[in-house]
Structure 1
């Protein structure tokens, strides 16, 4: 049968045709007899992102970290050596690739088994590294939130005293009481377009709730400085995620896909109509 082979011998590689990462991935998928829909089910990667990788449009992926992760999954799914793919991505180089005949099915199976064994150890080290990063980020966020709460609590107490004093000194003045009540409400403003928005919530005196939800689509999201730092996948089976953000905090919301997601902060919906690209980010600023 016909199967795509990445050439490792540099002296022989000069006689073979060089192709881009996307071309190599696409040829390997076709040789495996897989459609993009089959590959999506096997890797859990969105169809639009698989098409972006085959088109060498890596800027459409959420970040370089996820680009490497998705390339590793794609290579595994079509029985390519992930090290060659990742090296080409890091160096921005092309890959020497040739169509060769493989007559012995057992030889192909033995090579695939060997690759699976050798690729397990790097995966173990990557897992350890990811856990270490997660622990560091969690400790940083906990320290930041704790420090922020200590610095904002005295200001909040002073504000309450001022309101009580103003209320007591303005006896029988209903308009003053109404103004004090309205000043405690938060106000949301949104600006920007293209792939980046900035949302500013002012008037927050305590942690506010952030909610992201979908109806009939599947997307990947992450929110820095929260328990969603590591990312989450929203789908018809898991339609929403929520987290809280303290006043004085700036977070970045990353959307793997813009269409179909609804975002609310303190029960106020963030207008995402300005995001016109496939993916997008929202800088969320919470001011007290």
Structure 2
């Protein structure tokens, strides 16, 4: 029994008042209900939830008002419920941090294992299903690839043969069309006036290339669309090539030595030498039928005509 004349409740009340705390202040600080605080101060420990809470609340109360809780419990141990009861022991074990922590770890481990069992089982099932699908897909893919390789080889060979045949046919048609177009090109004389002759070239090719060849040096001028394309002397037995624009509608050739010059357009020969020879022959025949004095003058004239006929002005219109 404590030699102190005050009860533990009175001691706590005096300390609270000395601190200037009300019961409401103490309730807010300790989180202990006000009725339990009043029961402690009045010594009515039976009003508290249990024997364990008597000591726990008193210790917390004491520490809040500036007293040593453990020392106070030892001093008034005779006034307090026994610590040997089973309820107290159980509650102490329950509230003991180390005991509670160990028990919680065991419980948590068991709960964790229980939670993981269905998850692991589900994962195993999913993995098994995925492996089965993968195996089935792999086998199907291998079978399909084997079939496709055989089919693709056949298709490739057939396709190559067909493509080669198609290319050959296309080339043949193109060559035939080109040859046909050149062969269809033709010249027709439209008019002749002095040394000027006009021709029409039907079925003229799109690419119009003029080739000039002379057996003797000859001066040649080439004009297209009012623009001089070439002017100069073509050396004997040499070929001069002049390319006209694709949209050219005509070309004019000025030949300084027409009888010795050969012209081809797009591979088609232009018949100019025959017309020149005919003009010269006709002039000579007419002059030979006149009298002696006249013959002399006409021969001179024929010679002059022959010299003039060397120069030809030829225009070719493309159709």
Q: Is the pair's TM-score, using the shorter chain for normalization, greater than 0.5?
A: no
Structure with more strand by fraction: 1
TM-score (norm 2): 0.30
TM-score by structure 1 length?
0.32
Computing the radius of gyration from Cα coordinates, the structure with the larger value is 2
